[in-house]
Amino acid sequence: MNHTLLVVMLGLCSVTGLVLIALGLPGIWLIVAAVVGGGALTGFHAIGWGTIAIAVALALLGELFELWFGFGLARRYGGSKRAGWGALIGGLVGAVVGVPVPVIGSVIGGFVGAFIGATLLEYSRSQVAGVAVRAGWGALLGRVAATAAKMTLGIVIAVVAVFTVLR
């Protein structure tokens, strides 16, 4: 496979993956799949197993960040583990509910869902509205931080892969 064509393929898949991450979908894994596919198409000469291992490790780190930020910030803002689970579940439900609104619906839905999920589940535990809203705010911030972290890691994976091909 031509190196220029491989770089274009990696670029297109990476941009698509970044859009998917912003929408709350597993776009980082699309980027990893493009890296693995690029390796396979070149017989693992242009992109070797080391680069693939780095891509997978960074993607797993992104997933860990998503869990850590979602749970961690909800808890840092006074929420319980229940608020963390509410943030995770609410974010996923919100992203799905927001899909009918083109482009930004699932992004906004994911953020609002994380807030509502954490707030409701924390309120069901604490029965204190202020504590619940504060946990919801932490969950919202966690969702934003997790999205930013995963997008950053997606960019790093893409850059590493492209520079590996070009060297």
The whole-number average pLDDT for the span 84-96 is 85
How many other CB atoms sit within 10 Å of the CB of residue 6?
A: 22
> Distance between CA 166 and CA 164 in Å, rounded?
6
The answer, yes or no, to whether residue 142 has pLDDT greater than 80, is yes
pTM: 0.81
The answer, yes or no, to whether residue 1 has pLDDT greater than 70, is no
Which residues touch 109 (CB under 8 Å, ≥6 apart)? 24, 94, 95, 96, 97, 98, 99, 101
Token pair belonging to 155: 């960019």
Q: Amino acid identity of 145?
A: A
Q: What does the mean pLDDT of the chain come to?
A: 88
Q: Which of 18, 39, 44, 54 is nearest to 157 (CA)?
A: 54
What is residue 98's predicted lDDT score, i.e. its pLDDT?
81
What is residue 83's predicted lDDT score, i.e. its pLDDT?
86
The boundaries of the domain holding residue 11 are 3-166
Rounded alpha-carbon distances, angstroms, from residue 116 to 47, 92, 98, 110, 159 = 43, 11, 14, 10, 36
Per the structure, the count of domains in the chain is 1
